[in-house]
Structure 1
Amino acid sequence: MAGADLTGRYKGWMIRVKREDRSLRRGLFAKYVAALVGLVVFVLAVNGAIEIWINYHATRTTLTDSLGERAEAAAGRIEQSIAELERQISWVTRASAVKIEDHRNDYAQLLNQVPAVEQLMLLDGYGREKLRLSRTSVAVGSNADFSRDVRYTETRGKSVAYAPATFRNAARPAMSISVSHSGFNADITVADIDLHFLTEFLGDAQTGRSSFAYVIDPQGRVLARSSRGPETGKSLADLPQVAAALKKDNARTDFGTDAEGGSVLTAARAMPKLGWHVFFEQPAAHALVPIRDQLTRAALLIALGLVVAILAGSMLARRMLVPITALRRGADQLGEGDFGHRIEVKTGDELEELAGQFNRMAGQLQETYAGLETKVQERTRDLAQSMNELSLAHSTVQQQAEKLRDQTEQLKDWNKSLEDRVEKQLAEIERIRKLERFLAPQVAQLIASSDGHDSILDSHRREVTVVFCDLRGFTAFTESTEPEEAMNVLREYHAALGELTFKYEGTLDRYAGDGVMILFNAPIQFADHTRRAVQMAVEMRDAMDALTTRWRNRGHSLGFGVGIALGYATIGQIGFEHRLEYSAIGSVTNLASRLCDEAKANQIVVSRRVYGIVEPWVEGRPIDDLQLKGFNHPVLAAEILSWREGAEVAPPRTSAETAVVAAKEAS
């Protein structure tokens, strides 16, 4: 029964193979033909594209080189003609012509010999007109003032000057050539030139049958043109090739547009002495006619190749379908259960080898079918055993899943604990960041790590020592030096003061340009805060002495002054939520600032109360009573000269001591 069921399954499989084979046969012919046609068309298309690309570049290079050579020749002839005009104009500036009559005769002779010259003017050394001569009029001694005329001003600094081209009307461009006579404060001859003669260099003989040419001035206006060129006087500055030439872009520009917007092949040559450019251009539609013809020939060749490929593909596909049909019929016989059927294919290629493999497979199927029933029974027993093993494996998987759920709950608890720890550490970092704005980093970290630290920054009243220091001559320095150098000086200055502020554990209140305010005894209390402040100021003065010497070598005259006062002030945070500062408010801060204002370069001025506290450790002297702004009565003050040799140095508080003080203040 099992064997009959297996035979039925095999026949069903063979029926599906048969249907798929018929579908494959219906499309196989088209696939072979399409593959061959596609290959032929691809080869022809690539070959045609490469040949067209090579011919296109060769044609474009040949045409642009030819246009460039003609532009070069035309530019050379124009420059030569302008040089000849300059030489002929220079002849009338000969030194032997002294009288006005001599100049008039020379000018008349030049007008007769050179048709391009329309008018000649003689200007004296001060720009006054002495003589004007044209073919229709003459004026002597008019004394017209040309001292501001560009034709006069440009010629005073050199012997020859070319004035920019002008247009008397839309089609008559002109220019002036000014030549200076010899001698001190010499006369100047100004010749007005009609530029219509430039068209002689752009005739059809020079441009060719399909090309055109034109000359432009530095503003892009057309000075001369060939018969097919743009209108004289028209501005072509917006054309890409003209814009590139006017910008003196050295990149080669082979393509451009004409005045009507059509594409053209272009070549330009510059005349640096005049600032002009000569353009020779040819419409791209006419220049690339050979390329269009070649495209047509390539399309015809591809069409012919397509027809040949279809015919050849059809023949090859039909020859391949005969053995494939034989294989299909053999598969049908196997599908019907005829395992003794064999296929005969004699093509001498892979199809014959495939037929042999098919026959060997049929023989193996015939042998296998005989013992298939026994193997099916054996496989059935194996399957039952596998089901029992699978049941045991399922029980094991359930136990492991239960264990995994328990571990997942435990992991959730660990994750919650980790989140709490991370949140606490982030809060700690934020507290340190806020405190580091005012205190030394080590003090800020110790305060932040203690409990109740936020209360340290709350507003409260306390006795503090206030240190004010700034630079003498800094305002004048900033007005006379570059901002970058002023910033460099401030960086060096702030770095020197900041290092000593952290050393003595002072609280940096603010930077205000060159002014610095430092608090002692807030927010951390020190028993010797006044002594620390004075000792820090002495070290700052010593450090600034070396720094001002270095500045003096760089040409900066700056001095350093310090003012110190002791008294009660209100301490705490000021500002708003997004911008908070820790500061002190009270008369003691004003007193320290005024004492700093009174201090001269390298001088430390302290209140008499501060001097009385540190007198055992310093060398100093009293100062006459000071009349300070904002104070009604004279203020007693003293000057700190130096820290006594051998005097006990106030050591910075250790980390442990600072932590104890912070904890006490927080509580």
Structure 2
Amino acid sequence: MSISLHPDTPQGRSLPGSAAAGDAASGEGPRPGIRSRLFTKYVGLFVAVVGVALLANGLFEVFFYYREHKTALIRVQREQAEAAAAKIGQFVKEIESQLGWTTQLPWSAGSIEQRRFDALRLLRQVPAITELAQVDSTGKERLRVSRLAMDVVDSGIDVSTDAKFTEAVAHKVYYGPVYFRRESEPYMTLALAGTRKDAGVSIAEVNLKLIWDVVSQIKVGEHGHAYVVGSQGRLIAHPDISLVLRNTDMSRLEQVRAAQAGGGTMPDSLQEATNIQGQKVLTASAPIAPLGWTMFVELPVEEAYASLYASLQRLAIVLLAASIFAVLAGIFLARRMVGPIQALRTGAERIGGGDFSQRISIKTGDELEGLANQFNDMGARLQESYADLEKKVEQRTAELSESLQQQTATSEVLETISSSAGELQPVFNKMLENATRVCGASFGVMDLWDGERYNLVSDYNLPPEFAARRQPTIAPHPESGLAEVARTHQVAQVLDVREGAAYRAGSEMAVLLADVGGARTTLMVPLLRENDLVGVITIFRREVRAFTDKQIALVENFANQAVIAIENARLLKQLRERTKELSQSLDELRTAQDRLIQTEKLASLGQLTAGIAHEIKNPLNFVNNFSSVSTELIDELNEVLQGAGLDDKTKEEVAELTHMLKGNLEKVVQHGKRADSIVKNMLLHSREGSGERRPADINALVEESLNLAYHGARAEKPGFNITLKRDLDPAAGMLDIYPQEITRVFLNLISNGFYAATKRKESEGGAFEPTLSASTRNLGDNVEIRIRDNGTGIPPEVKEKMFNPFFTTKPAGEGTGLGLSMSHDIVVKQHGGTVDVNTEPGAFTEFIITLPRMLAAQGNTGGRT
């Protein structure tokens, strides 16, 4: 292996502008030093590779051994649990078999002694049965024999509805739930029905302590054991009999809950758990059919994994020996690799410092030698590319300068659009000036098409003689650039006017441009609105030089801005015209409203006619229709202007103007609604005696009015809520009245109550509950109706005027002041009744109406009370 460093020249050289010089000029500090040696890293790498390989192999072996060992243990435990469950099931089946022959005989008068003898023999043969009861087919207990109590014959106890009787009759056998006598000994009920219908049912109480013999014989390793849990989670059998006698609840163990949820079988994910002593164990379970019990077998984890721990110790010893070997091998190999890499590092530092003539010589015949050759090639290429760097920097600087000019020109145009307030001439002038100047043109013009001709709207730096002789273009020459723009709606560029078809054909405009204006290269960009040509921007150069794509894109951008400015000016003009019309309509509406108010003040309530409504109808309909159309126009205009590409300042001005117009429209709508409400109420007020006179149930009218007013308020205001109370006297009965008019009175008073209670709720909030109550009372020849709310109440000065026409305390647009006046006239004048008010400001208001049962033949003219 051969390693050397040498420059191309005897002294080498350092180029200006190199990395080292750049670092010094920029003030950067020295680079951070090497934090760790390559030799140490390689040694650590070899050690890590060997260690990881051995560790991975050992861990894989341990992992698979652990899984296989655990699976085998669980399989053995599950087999043990299933075998034990089968034994316990067989134990119960044997008891059931022994109990079966007690149900063979039918019941008769002389069979009691024989059955008692059989029962005693059963208790001797089956020690697990503590008590036996025999029940006839009707469910009456005929015999009970017990180890713990006196025998009972013909007790007559009815068990026909107990589950142990009904289930045994239905299914021939019944296994009862486990229960504990004296809260210690586990028992269960086993009932068996005879094959004959008249054989009855034998019911045995079985002591489950004897299952302990089965459980205690199950051996699981050295320290493992088995136990049985009932369907309710209580311990039935356990090698430690004291746990059973203490009635231990096992349902708090996770494995017990999981097994009961899975029908007696635990999921595979729960093979390790904690037992009742708090010890980690491997556990398995099996259901004991058909009792609903579960057999559990568990083995301590320490005992189960003892062989695994021994395997881990052996693995640790192997890893230690392999690590020592890896360190020695790493030292040997790292020494042969670090030398060439250090040479590469030194050469790279010199090239990075600007010495592009540096060459690295490594003769190892491997990838390191190839890397050294690549460093050498890179140094040669850097020497070549440095010469072109300054030229590229100058070229890029020129491009950035041109881009900055274009951005500045665009910004100036947008600023002019923002400050022009709808005036187009300043926008056109600034746009044409910037397009001509930034694109390096000599002069330019902007023409707009009015449908017949192209009219000059702006020019920049036109030669005086050309400007004096230029005329509006009506029909451009078919071969000219303007005709091409009109035909294709695309940008047209004429590289040399003198070589163009229009000039050679003698077109007056082409000759004027070339010979008088001195134009050689022209660029024409169309102004398009929805693909309709509205104008053309044309810029001219006095030398033959094509416009670049960036310059064409800049002029196209200016053309788009010009179209937007034209459209904005048109829309603003329409907006001002609409605003003027709206202002005039508002003045007309106010005049009509003043006339209406004067008419209301001067006219008598009984002499109002449809002529008043006709007088107001035309201006009112016009205002309503105009308001609707204007609202739509303003919304449409706002959408167009917001999407027209305006700057933020112009958008704010447009938004402020549309907001002001909408405010005026809202006032128009408010005055229109008030005028419509006034006319409607005045016409209703003039209808004295309208509707049909007939007997009506006053309680039904009150109930109907409450429902109508409540649901109407809910529909108008979804959040409306109030408590309604009713106290309707059944003796109030039928009255001779105008039901339609009285209903109108009730609706008016109830609505006022809703309004007052809601206002108080809005002011107080909290736990205040708006309430309105209605009551009726029989007074003999009269009927009294009371409508009470817990609202804001009525001040004394308002109470004196509340029945006067056109008097209202509601905000403008919410009331006309005719409701209470009409209600008073209907009750007093039309029906000969009375209206009274009982109120307390800030607490309640109660209207008291008295109506006669029989209405006078000629009506009444009673006064107010």
Judge same fold: TM > 0.5, yes or no: yes
Letter matched to residue 414 of structure 1: T
Q: 1:215 aligns with which of 220, 225, 228?
A: 228
Task: Measure how far apart 1:360 and its partner are.
Answer: 6.8
Compared CA separation, residues 335 and 116, structure 1 to 2 (3 A): closer
Q: Is the 8 A contact 2:13 2:357 kept in 1?
A: no
- Match for residue 315 of structure 1? 332
Give 3-state SS (helix, strand or coil) of 2:297's partner: strand
Identical pairs, percent: 28
CA deviation map 1:283-320 (0-9, x unaligned) = 23322334434444444444444444433333232212
Letter matched to residue 681 of structure 2: R
Please give the alpha-carbon distance, in whole angstroms, between the structure 1 residues aligned to 2:364 and 2:118: 107
- Match for residue 258 of structure 1? 275
The answer to whether residue 205 in structure 2 is matched with residue 192 in structure 1 is yes
Q: Is the 8 A contact 1:263 1:283 kept in 2?
A: yes
- Match for residue 370 of structure 2? 353
Task: Measure how far apart 1:348 and its partner are.
Answer: 0.3
Q: 1:455 aligns with which of 662, 667, 674?
A: 674
Compared CA separation, residues 201 and 26, structure 1 to 2 (3 A): closer
The answer to whether residue 333 in structure 2 is matched with residue 113 in structure 1 is no
Task: Measure how far apart 1:85 and its partner are.
Answer: 1.0
Compared CA separation, residues 271 and 104, structure 1 to 2 (3 A): same
Q: Is the 8 A contact 2:218 2:225 kept in 1?
A: no
Please give the alpha-carbon distance, in whole angstroms, between the structure 2 residues aligned to 1:337 and 1:320: 27
Q: Is the 8 A contact 1:509 1:582 kept in 2?
A: no
Compared CA separation, residues 254 and 428, structure 1 to 2 (3 A): farther
Compared CA separation, residues 327 and 424, structure 1 to 2 (3 A): same
Task: Measure how far apart 1:349 and its partner are.
Answer: 1.4
After superposing the two structures, state which structure 1 stretch, 223-232 or 3-12, moved more: 3-12
Please give the alpha-carbon distance, in whole angstroms, between the structure 2 residues aligned to 1:192 and 1:512: 67
Please give the alpha-carbon distance, in whole angstroms, between the structure 2 residues aligned to 1:165 and 1:276: 9
CA deviation map 1:261-291 (0-9, x unaligned) = 3332222222342221111122233223344
Tell me how large the CA RMSD over aligned residues is. Answer: 5.8
- Match for residue 289 of structure 1? 306
Q: Is the 8 A contact 1:509 1:517 kept in 2?
A: no
Q: Is the 8 A contact 1:510 1:517 kept in 2?
A: no
Letter matched to residue 82 of structure 1: V
- Match for residue 166 of structure 1? 179
Please give the alpha-carbon distance, in whole angstroms, between the structure 2 residues aligned to 1:240 and 1:21: 61
Please give the alpha-carbon distance, in whole angstroms, between the structure 2 residues aligned to 1:137 and 1:568: 85
How is 1:510-529 mapped onto 2 (pairs within 5 angstroms)? 512=711
CA deviation map 1:237-272 (0-9, x unaligned) = 111121223334676143332102333222222234
- Match for residue 414 of structure 1? 650
How is 1:27-176 mapped onto 2 (pairs within 5 angstroms)? 27-95=37-105, 98-124=110-136, 129-134=141-146, 139-141=151-153, 143=155, 145=157, 147=159, 151-152=164-165, 155=168, 157-169=170-182, 172-176=185-189
CA deviation map 1:179-212 (0-9, x unaligned) = 3456666544332322222123223445443421
Query: Where do 5+ consecutive residues of structure 1 fail to align?
Result: 432-447, 468-507, 519-562, 593-628, 637-667
Q: Is the 8 A contact 1:130 1:143 kept in 2?
A: yes
Task: Measure how far apart 1:78 and its partner are.
Answer: 1.5
Task: Measure how far apart 1:344 and its partner are.
Answer: 4.6
Compared CA separation, residues 63 and 401, structure 1 to 2 (3 A): same
Letter matched to residue 632 of structure 1: R
Give 3-state SS (helix, strand or coil) of 1:92's partner: helix
How is 1:363-512 mapped onto 2 (pairs within 5 angstroms)? 406=416, 411-420=647-656, 423=659, 450=669, 452-453=671-672, 455=674, 461-464=681-684, 512=711
CA deviation map 1:26-70 (0-9, x unaligned) = 632233334444444444444444444433333332222222222
Please give the alpha-carbon distance, in whole angstroms, between the structure 2 residues aligned to 1:346 and 1:319: 13
Compared CA separation, residues 340 and 463, structure 1 to 2 (3 A): closer
Please give the alpha-carbon distance, in whole angstroms, between the structure 1 residues aligned to 2:63 and 2:190: 49
CA deviation map 1:386-433 (0-9, x unaligned) = 99999999899877766665556563541223322564688799x7xx
Task: Measure how far apart 1:220 and its partner are.
Answer: 1.1
Q: Is the 8 A contact 1:568 1:586 kept in 2?
A: no
Compared CA separation, residues 315 and 25, structure 1 to 2 (3 A): farther
After superposing the two structures, state which structure 1 stretch, 220-229 or 209-218, moved more: 220-229
Letter matched to residue 95 of structure 1: L
**Number of corresponding residues:** 490
Compared CA separation, residues 422 and 96, structure 1 to 2 (3 A): same
Q: Is the 8 A contact 2:186 2:209 kept in 1?
A: yes
Bigger relative contact order, structure 1 or 2 (CA pairs below 8 A, ≥6 apart): 1
Letter matched to residue 64 of structure 1: I
Please give the alpha-carbon distance, in whole angstroms, between the structure 1 residues aligned to 2:292 and 2:328: 67
Task: Measure how far apart 1:327 and its partner are.
Answer: 4.9
Q: 1:226 aligns with which of 223, 239, 255?
A: 239
Letter matched to residue 39 of structure 2: F
The answer to whether residue 263 in structure 2 is matched with residue 244 in structure 1 is no
Compared CA separation, residues 104 and 156, structure 1 to 2 (3 A): same
Please give the alpha-carbon distance, in whole angstroms, between the structure 2 residues aligned to 1:12 and 1:216: 83
Give 3-state SS (helix, strand or coil) of 2:277's partner: coil
After superposing the two structures, state which structure 1 stretch, 401-410 or 572-581, moved more: 572-581
The TM-score, its normalising length taken from structure 2, stands at: 0.45
The answer to whether residue 286 in structure 2 is matched with residue 269 in structure 1 is yes
- Match for residue 235 of structure 1? 249
Please give the alpha-carbon distance, in whole angstroms, between the structure 2 residues aligned to 1:509 and 1:257: 69
Give 3-state SS (helix, strand or coil) of 2:362's partner: coil
Q: Is the 8 A contact 2:12 2:355 kept in 1?
A: no
CA deviation map 1:105-142 (0-9, x unaligned) = 21232223222223333345566654443458753537
Compared CA separation, residues 335 and 388, structure 1 to 2 (3 A): closer
Letter matched to residue 85 of structure 1: I
Please give the alpha-carbon distance, in whole angstroms, between the structure 2 residues aligned to 1:247 and 1:404: 75
Please give the alpha-carbon distance, in whole angstroms, between the structure 2 residues aligned to 1:142 and 1:231: 35
Give 3-state SS (helix, strand or coil) of 2:151's partner: strand
- Match for residue 477 of structure 2? none
The TM-score, its normalising length taken from structure 1, stands at: 0.57
Give 3-state SS (helix, strand or coil) of 1:261's partner: coil
Give 3-state SS (helix, strand or coil) of 2:192's partner: strand
Compared CA separation, residues 143 and 416, structure 1 to 2 (3 A): same
Give 3-state SS (helix, strand or coil) of 1:237's partner: coil
Please give the alpha-carbon distance, in whole angstroms, between the structure 1 residues aligned to 2:294 and 2:402: 96
Letter matched to residue 89 of structure 1: L
Please give the alpha-carbon distance, in whole angstroms, between the structure 2 residues aligned to 1:272 and 1:388: 93
Please give the alpha-carbon distance, in whole angstroms, between the structure 1 residues aligned to 2:19 and 2:187: 102
Give 3-state SS (helix, strand or coil) of 1:179's partner: strand
Compared CA separation, residues 164 and 14, structure 1 to 2 (3 A): closer
Give 3-state SS (helix, strand or coil) of 2:681's partner: strand
Q: Is the 8 A contact 2:13 2:355 kept in 1?
A: no
Please give the alpha-carbon distance, in whole angstroms, between the structure 1 residues aligned to 2:354 and 2:715: 107
Compared CA separation, residues 352 and 189, structure 1 to 2 (3 A): closer
